[in-house]
Structure 1
């Protein structure tokens, strides 16, 4: 009997000691009581540490006796400490609630896929550029969004004019006409309006930029073969927000602008106003401008009406006017003379009126009507030649979002009318396109790990001019899937079909201002198929490190491609070819965050895009196969930020079949906050990478110059500084 009692005593003592050495906690968000995975729990002054699992539970072992302070950290939440005296007889796990940090980024909601889901639960691969990064890039170039896109992996901004600075956007190496630009879901920048689009979209009112790479015609119709870039505007909150900026650069650019927004229960507003002034700038002293003399002005008021909790009506009107003159700098400064006659002038007026009506039929369903009318006028003038055109675009979209258990259904249709009118009578380039489309999309949370999205669009398209007319009917299926292997690993895969209706307005025709360009005649729509697949990995290392990795592969094939040829009379014309265009490659992205202060971003893009119709060398012109983006940021929230960036661009083929050298460029930025005022400085391309260092861009005489293809910076290093006021 004594032996039995002794054994029982030993067992109980051992169990008690074991219990004293193990302590369990469950970590939850105070805001919604959801379990937090990846939180770091540690005993201050010891090596005891644990990380919470998928249900928020963490187990601490080998805890020293006595009063101990337990520290809990999780990114996006305030640090918390609790004191416990050990040993302790614990019956249930200690629940610890963390409060969200004031500096926590809002949950990223995606609107480009029409479902308004969080980015973590969207099967379609969507990349976002969020407000913080938009704000940083606005310091570098407040005039337009070109800097935001230029520094994104897999996207390039291709300059098309040596003197006027016009540019277009390329995704995955494909020509700019295959990328659809949207502002709040409205397609106001296509075809003729595309040439100066990114130079006329200011970043000051943006809250987010959403990028879908690969065929997206099922979502948005024609022109989304390479992808979609959707610029999302900020919406007013009850707390008023007023932002002002003044910027000055060494290259002669001045920017003055502001954005304001506010609302109450029934009415809200937002207002963007921006003026940009650029002096003619000739860095290489060849007497021709690298940056044109320009004056741009944008004003964009929006009225938000909330008749009740279920209804929202948004009425907006964006107006932009621009006057840009490049060419012989002596002509621009002093006027025309016998020795100085060359110029290139672009005058544009863009006005877009929008109406957006939303009605929540219950807590989950949404009926929406969006309509817009866009007017774009552009006059191009060079010696002995003038091109004038007006583009009218009307767009209406009606959709119904139905949410049922684990599923979202979207039914919708839209009408698009695009009318380009050439004011010249000879060789009139006037062209009309009418499109009627129906679409359906189904998003299904099959399991906690598997999310599926499928959709189909049918478009009936009629396009014509005085020489020919054609009607096409397209059936465009699309499918994508998201699979979460664990809390750290996930993968997306998706693909679909696309198409592009004929257009005269491309990167190539922009370079010669559409001179000697014949009207479209018999040209048919281009068709495509393609897809993307990626793998994501995200983890915490200890309480200080966050690592995020993404590896994406892409492929797009365009058939019935349109190509630009020249006839015996030196006139240019478009025709279709049976030879396809293929673009394939991959993107690698890494983000490393240390203590939320140091942030390292790295992106590598490999693009192998070929046009089978090109003789000898089939590589797409002005496209580097390898590109590397590096950015290091050190930031103390609401105090200061410092950033260093580096970009490597590989060799590129020019249209004359010569190859450019590869090159590096570097940039630096700094911003200091003093309460509601912040001061910023920026040094872009401070190593002065410049095309004219390799070879003069301008050839021939002053009165009859020709220009090389643009493959890197023409203006060289740029320094700017400014002041921002936030109220």
Structure 2
């Protein structure tokens, strides 16, 4: 009995866990005693207390997401006057727990009621091997998302979510909306993946979060932030279609200051795979440089100043003209020259370790010059965005109060009576509450009021929108959970859509008496996760969606062959479901499967009301073998169902396959890819180009135009 009493003597001990680089307290750190079930989690002050600790030498294991594990050995009994301070170093690996920033609460994805899909660093890294120039490959192969090519010769593209046109999806970079309006046809072609840590996708009406343009959803590209350990990344890539990519990304921080720098240049030779004398890939060169400065005046304040500059020149069309110059038989070209500069400022001030005051502002300038024979269209787009928010964290609630201002001004360079100048001004107020009602039930509700004015020389209109939204997360148990959410959305008028992009805005009349489009809709899903023995992990997700758009703007043509926009009283409806499955075996083999059914109808269309260039059925399959930091190989397959063209004909369904491999040699990795190696392309079904060389017309683009692509490259990580 005496031995037993000695072994289980009553000892108490306190720990305070902090980050080593700035001494800020770490809430939620887990401390485990001697690898037993006896553990504790640090509170809001970084404090954890252990009681009933046995005498003798005891080992405490300290863990926190994003930090290196630390072991502390203490011999009991011990006389403690103050809590022991434990300093954790940041981990070299990326965070294992996914933190969501698009909902502004910075919660883990498991505890976020709003349904947010993430594309994490590992997958971004794989897709950037295939296409280092831009993010189009990352999005193209995601369930429920498609990248719609809008030009047969220049390769311009836009994003579609749940079958809705690209103008209904809002693109963000670190929460800044700088990619809409006149820039929309080139936006995803000018966002490099090299500096990204995560892509967050919210599907369905999300205007309550980010205002106009988020009817179909939001795609937020999240940049990497510097850590104490320097990180340097370099990539060189070459493909058989004549593309060369050279890029670098670097970041580092210390206690008071940090930086990140992205630099990327891309070169593309004109490429004509079907030998019809017209390019499938344009001759292009572009350059991006994006420096960011991070300033940490104290433990609670962060100031981020950045400037992103991109210059691009793309020329497609007759390949003889591009290589040798024009002659009597070779005169057609399409040129896109653009310049984009975005300056950003982000100030964050923490208070009481829980609350956050944040001011974000950006100024974006975009210039674009479009040229075809005997016609050019030039314009400048100015966009100013400012957002002020305050996050108040309570014991079971997070409250966000905010306001923002958006100014968007397009000015056509060649001023005529048909100039397409257009200005939109928006002032918004928003409030959001996230409430942990119970351990199982979490609610997120919000409301936004937007006052917007848009005008040109022909008309002016002011709208006031009240936009509520609600999301519910319910965790049935450790395996089953469900999210249901819905809200309202709106889209202010614009001339720059996928359809008008196809004819370079030629013979397009200015907007006149066009009203905003409005929407409502939502999503509902059920999620299941389990492990089978020690070897298998299974995750299944079934999601249903519905969106209805009223006041839809439609493109019409008058008797003088001028194009113009008009509102219709007939709605656009998109409904369907997405099914996703992920199976992992022993952490080495990973199988991903995704199926999308989309039934989108435009009620104003005669006879056939299906949305054009939209497959009802899509299937994504990917099998990956990976030995971390050593070797990976993957096989992908994608099925796309029939699509209706604008001439009411249907396309053929098709499969495409891809193969990738990467081998790591210390700090150097070598990768190879065979994208679409079965050579699925539109010209195998019918020539894309019609008519004479001097006056060609082009079919709608519904699949690959360039065919199979092989590329290989080298990455260096220091």
Secondary structure of the residue aligned to 1:466 is coil
Secondary structure of the residue aligned to 1:114 is coil
Does the 8 Å CA contact 2:178/2:342 hold for their aligned counterparts?
Answer: yes
Secondary structure of the residue aligned to 1:132 is helix
Structure 1 residue 425: Cα displacement:
1.8
Structure 1 residue 31: Cα displacement:
6.0
Structure 1 residue 611: Cα displacement:
0.1
Counterpart of 2:12 in structure 1 is: none
Counterpart of 1:117 in structure 2 is: 107
1:722 and 2:713 aligned: yes
Question: How do 1:253-268 and structure 2 match up within 5 A?
Answer: 253-268=243-258
TM-score (norm 2): 0.88
Counterpart of 1:442 in structure 2 is: 433
Counterpart of 1:180 in structure 2 is: 170
**Quick one: which of 598, 602, 608 aligns to 1:617?**
608
Counterpart of 2:346 in structure 1 is: 356
**Quick one: which of 359, 377, 402 aligns to 2:367?**
377
Counterpart of 2:130 in structure 1 is: 140
Counterpart of 2:19 in structure 1 is: none
Quick one: distance in 1 between partners of 2:236 and 2:152?
27
Counterpart of 2:451 in structure 1 is: 460
Structure 1 residue 193: Cα displacement:
1.5
Counterpart of 1:598 in structure 2 is: 589
**Quick one: which of 281, 296, 299 aligns to 1:291?**
281
Structure 1 residue 33: Cα displacement:
3.9
**Quick one: which of 356, 366, 376 aligns to 1:386?**
376
**Quick one: which of 511, 514, 526 aligns to 1:535?**
526
Secondary structure of the residue aligned to 1:666 is strand
Question: How do 1:214-253 and structure 2 match up within 5 A?
Answer: 214-253=204-243
Quick one: distance in 1 between partners of 2:180 and 2:703?
25
**Quick one: which of 488, 493, 496 aligns to 2:487?**
496
Counterpart of 2:309 in structure 1 is: 319
Secondary structure of the residue aligned to 1:373 is strand
Secondary structure of the residue aligned to 2:249 is strand
Secondary structure of the residue aligned to 2:342 is strand
**Quick one: which of 636, 651, 654 aligns to 1:663?**
654
Quick one: distance in 1 between partners of 2:96 and 2:166?
32
Q: Mark the runs of 5 or more structure 2 residues left unpaired by the alignment.
A: 1-27, 38-65, 69-89
Quick one: distance in 2 between partners of 1:316 and 1:77?
27
**In angstroms, what is the RMSD of aligned CA positions?**
2.0
1:190 and 2:188 aligned: no
Change in 2 beyond 3 A, CA 1:270/1:346: same
TM-score (norm 1): 0.87
Structure 1 residue 423: Cα displacement:
1.1
Change in 2 beyond 3 A, CA 1:191/1:580: same
Question: How do 1:473-492 and structure 2 match up within 5 A?
Answer: 473-492=464-483
Structure 1 residue 77: Cα displacement:
14
**Quick one: which of 30, 33, 38 aligns to 1:32?**
30
Quick one: distance in 1 between partners of 2:376 and 2:92?
56
Counterpart of 1:206 in structure 2 is: 196
Does the 8 Å CA contact 1:77/1:104 hold for their aligned counterparts?
Answer: no
Does the 8 Å CA contact 1:562/1:576 hold for their aligned counterparts?
Answer: yes
Change in 2 beyond 3 A, CA 1:467/1:104: closer
Quick one: distance in 2 between partners of 1:409 and 1:463?
31
Quick one: distance in 1 between partners of 2:633 and 2:128?
15
Quick one: distance in 2 between partners of 1:394 and 1:598?
46
1:274 and 2:264 aligned: yes
Structure 1 residue 215: Cα displacement:
0.4
Structure 1 residue 287: Cα displacement:
0.2
Counterpart of 2:498 in structure 1 is: 507
Does the 8 Å CA contact 2:92/2:229 hold for their aligned counterparts?
Answer: no
Counterpart of 2:575 in structure 1 is: 584
Counterpart of 1:555 in structure 2 is: 546
Quick one: distance in 1 between partners of 2:139 and 2:448?
28
1:574 and 2:556 aligned: no
Deviations for 1:172-192, whole angstroms, at most 9, x for unmatched residues? Answer: 000000000000000000111
Question: How do 1:645-660 and structure 2 match up within 5 A?
Answer: 645-660=636-651
Quick one: distance in 2 between partners of 1:544 and 1:570?
65
1:698 and 2:689 aligned: yes
Structure 1 residue 194: Cα displacement:
1.0
Counterpart of 1:83 in structure 2 is: none
Quick one: distance in 2 between partners of 1:351 and 1:703?
36
Does the 8 Å CA contact 2:442/2:472 hold for their aligned counterparts?
Answer: yes
Deviations for 1:260-313, whole angstroms, at most 9, x for unmatched residues? Answer: 000100000000000000000000000000000000000000000000000000
Quick one: distance in 1 between partners of 2:423 and 2:165?
22
Structure 1 residue 405: Cα displacement:
1.1
Quick one: distance in 2 between partners of 1:101 and 1:275?
31
Change in 2 beyond 3 A, CA 1:681/1:363: same
Change in 2 beyond 3 A, CA 1:103/1:303: closer
Deviations for 1:680-701, whole angstroms, at most 9, x for unmatched residues? Answer: 0000000000100000000000
Secondary structure of the residue aligned to 1:714 is coil
Quick one: distance in 2 between partners of 1:31 and 1:140?
38
Does the 8 Å CA contact 1:103/1:637 hold for their aligned counterparts?
Answer: no
Quick one: distance in 2 between partners of 1:553 and 1:318?
37
Counterpart of 1:713 in structure 2 is: 704
Secondary structure of the residue aligned to 2:30 is coil
Runs (4+) off by over 6 Å: 100-104
Quick one: distance in 2 between partners of 1:611 and 1:500?
17
Structure 1 residue 171: Cα displacement:
0.1
Secondary structure of the residue aligned to 1:703 is coil
Secondary structure of the residue aligned to 2:280 is coil
Deviations for 1:348-387, whole angstroms, at most 9, x for unmatched residues? Answer: 0000000000000111000000000000000000000000
Quick one: distance in 1 between partners of 2:699 and 2:161?
23
Quick one: distance in 1 between partners of 2:476 and 2:359?
38
Counterpart of 1:55 in structure 2 is: none
Secondary structure of the residue aligned to 2:328 is coil
Deviations for 1:618-669, whole angstroms, at most 9, x for unmatched residues? Answer: 0000000000000000000010100000000000000000000000000000
Structure 1 residue 106: Cα displacement:
2.1
